[in-house]
Amino acid sequence: MMLVTGASGFVGSAVVRLARSRGLAVRAMVQPQSRLDLLEGVPADSIVRADMTEIDSLRRAVEGVRAVVHCAATTSVSAPDLELSRRVNVEGTDALLRACREAGARRFVNIGSQSAHKGNPSVYGRTKLEQDERVMGAEGIEWTILRPSIVYGAQAKGVFSKMADYCRKLPVIPVIGPGREEMRPIHVDDVAWAALACIEESRTVGRIYDLGGADVLEFNEFISEILAAIGKRKPCFHLPIPIALAIARTLSAVMKNPPLTPDNVTGIQTARHVSNRAAREDFGFAPRGFAQGLREIYGRKGREMATSPSAGDGGSAPSRTVRLAVVGLGKMGVMHSAMCGAAPGVSVGALMDADPKLGSQVQSMGVDAPFFSSLDAMFDKARDLDGVVIATPQFTHREIAVACLERGLHVFCEKPLAHTLDDARAMAEAQKTHPDRVTAIGFMKGHYPLWLEAARRLRDGWIGPPRRFRATVYLSQVLSPKKGWTFTKDLSGGGILINSGIHLVHFLRVLFGDVERVTARSRPMHSQVEDTLAALVEFRSGVFGSYDTSWSVAGYETEGTTVLVEGDEGTLEIADDWLRTYHLTGAGGAPKGWSRTHRAELDHAAFTMSPDYGGEGYYNQIEDFARAIREGGRARYDWTEGLRVQEVVDALYRSCESGKTIAIGPI
């Protein structure tokens, strides 16, 4: 029996598939809450859920195993997290090696990285090097270390996936530095072949092997080959490395899954020559060329992969394209335009704003859609629209949204539903009079896979019946006097609560249901609206707890959200990047002790670049809206949900004004 760790990942799943095709007995180890999309067809009894940070779960995974292919690791795809990388890549590998010795599993093939060398100061490179050192120093273990170059394939992540996305979607392709760095991209199936070959070849014990594809390419040639494979011709622009590094650091500070990380840039700077000579001589390694590998990927999925926005993520193309207008071209409108152009089977059919300059700016970013300066002009001339995305200030939502419904359009509206409860009620009533129209509201955090997983764990009883919670959301946005419509209550509806804190109010409803009563206090500090608010919130389910929000807390350059839930049998805690649960006994199928999941394990959006953090949620909500339009169903969160959340927000404001507890009537 052979164990493959990280089996739900890109390389690990390829090793499992190849082993099964050869009739080998293989056990696939995945994190407790990993998606199993890449393990389709693998029997459930061949999959074991274990955590690299939990030695007991690793002991169960290696029981009866004679060999291990170790693929589990944090990667350079998301923003660097030294603590997490050390816990998984280094300490987790230590624990796995200890479990192997105890179980008598002596053969160990470690999937390392070309980043693992002393000249690479990146978090990923440092921890992968230390991982290799732990493997080499393990007593009683017959180890082999494989260090592949850039790995590519149909479900790839990392540099290849990002560059393939850029080649499909961007009008101009960004290249870091002069683009002359040499590389040997290697197909994921060739990495899997090498891992299995080393398991059986005794001469590979105690050896480290570089692995690369058959072709040595400059980075510029790498891009050219991808463009040729997908039938595109696009220019490139070269970004100096110091500038690229500065951009990467900024993006990593404000985005959870940035399109470029400091580790990506560092990896390019410190790239080393890769030679297959030792692997060829010792176990007959003969990888395919890059052009051949690309033909296999795109040929197998069909030419539509070159043009489908979801190409490369394993999904199928939608049945028809949904054409959406974007109304309001400020920051949120720009972001929605990008997501509408990237989501599968969605296109931007029109742009509308009172300011023509904003229209020109968005069109210059590559959005190929006509611009209109009024709704009437858009209604008259853009006749092939399916729906509209409203990204204007909230005091304009009601008028625009109702007009669009009356014109027969499906309507997605940014949060909050409106600036007043009366306007929100009017919009919800308008939804009822147009039951064939899809409505949706932009509670994008409610579309985070990680947060939805937290809700599922509560429903499934991972911590028993929930009793109490503590929820916080902080941001360093208002640290000096502010003016404008956002800080004018008659126009915005309020301050931090209705603008940013409303996402957390919505998520608490997702977790616990309807709110029964609230008691709140707030205070303006730098503006005419509340800059900070704290509340006690009680739900009809009996759960109660504290809600605390402020956009005037120093040290939170990006929004920081946490929710801690106490249950009869354990604890659940969620933040922007991770979810962890603790179960006292392990009863009912929940893992005993702590179980931790990082958002990178669950995020799946094909394209998450946005001018702000939260790209995964923005992408998923547009994808959900388009799905509902095609299927004639409901969006995940429609205007009825928007009204329910607004009722809670209104009650919180009334409690602040009156100093009293405010009850919310039954739904």
Q: What is the 3-state secondary structure (H, E, C) of 35-99?
A: CCHHHCCCCHHHEEECCCCCHHHHHHHHCCCCEEEECCCCCCCCCCCHHHHHHHHHHHHHHHHHH
Residues contacting 481, CB < 8 A, separation 6+:
526, 527
DSSP label of 375? H
Which tokens is 638 given? Answer: 């429609």
Confidence class of residue 116 from pLDDT cuts 50, 70 and 90?
A: confident
Which tokens is 48 given? Answer: 């074991």
The pLDDT value given to residue 260: 59
Which tokens is 404 given? Answer: 């669009």
**Could you give phi then psi for residue 122, rounded to 5 degrees?**
-65, 155
pLDDT tens, residue by residue, 211-261: 999 998 888 888 888 888 888 877 887 777 677 677 666 655 545 555 556
Region 634-646 average pLDDT: 96
Share of the chain above pLDDT 90, in %: 61
- Say if 2-306 and 322-435 have the same CATH topology: yes
**Which architecture, in CATH terms, is 2-306?**
3-Layer(aba) Sandwich (3.40)
**CA angle (288, 292, 295) in 5-degree steps:** 145
Cis status, amide bond into 171, omega within 30 of 0: no
Can you list the alpha helix ranges (DSSP code H) found in 92-238? 93-103, 123-136, 159-169, 188-200, 219-229
Region 602-625 average pLDDT: 70
Question: Of 3.30.360.10, 3.30.70.20, 3.75.10.10, 3.20.170.30, which CATH number belongs to 445-663?
Answer: 3.30.360.10
Q: What is the pTM of this model?
A: 0.61
Is 643 a residue whose pLDDT tops 60?
yes
DSSP label of 552? B
Q: Considering the chain, what is the average pLDDT of its residues?
A: 87
Region 607-624 average pLDDT: 69
The pLDDT value given to residue 309: 35
**Least reliable range by pLDDT among 97-106, 117-126, 469-478:** 117-126
Domain ranges of the chain: 2-306, 322-435, 445-663
The pLDDT value given to residue 301: 39
CB atoms within 10 A of CB 233: 7
Q: Is residue 564 a contact partner of residue 572, using CB atoms and an 8 Å limit?
A: yes
The pLDDT value given to residue 610: 39
Confidence class of residue 75 from pLDDT cuts 50, 70 and 90?
A: low
The pLDDT value given to residue 263: 57
The pLDDT value given to residue 312: 35
Q: Is residue 115 a contact partner of residue 124, using CB atoms and an 8 Å limit?
A: yes
**Least reliable range by pLDDT among 111-115, 154-158, 176-180, 562-566:** 154-158
Residues contacting 195, CB < 8 A, separation 6+:
15, 69, 109, 111, 146
Can you list the alpha helix ranges (DSSP code H) found in 86-173? 93-103, 123-136, 159-169
**Which H helix or E strand runs over 618?**
helix 615-631
The pLDDT value given to residue 388: 98
Region 161-187 average pLDDT: 79
- Core vs surface per residue 108-141: b (16+ CB within 10 A) or e: bbbbbbbbbeeebebbbbbbbbbbbebbeebeeb
Q: Is residue 535 a contact partner of residue 518, using CB atoms and an 8 Å limit?
A: yes
How far from the centroid of its chain's Cα atoms is residue 262's Cα?
Answer: 18
The pLDDT value given to residue 174: 75
Euclidean distance between CA atoms 350 and 342, whole angstroms: 15
The pLDDT value given to residue 270: 52
Question: Of 3.40.50.720, 1.20.120.450, 3.40.50.620, 1.10.1660.10, which CATH number belongs to 322-435?
Answer: 3.40.50.720
pLDDT tens, residue by residue, 494-508: 999 999 999 999 999
**Could you give phi then psi for residue 116, rounded to 5 degrees?**
-85, 80
pLDDT tens, residue by residue, 358-404: 999 888 877 889 999 999 999 999 989 999 999 999 999 999 999 99
pLDDT tens, residue by residue, 292-350: 888 888 764 333 333 333 333 334 456 689 999 999 999 899 889 888 887 878 999 99
Region 510-539 average pLDDT: 96
pLDDT tens, residue by residue, 585-601: 876 666 788 888 877 77
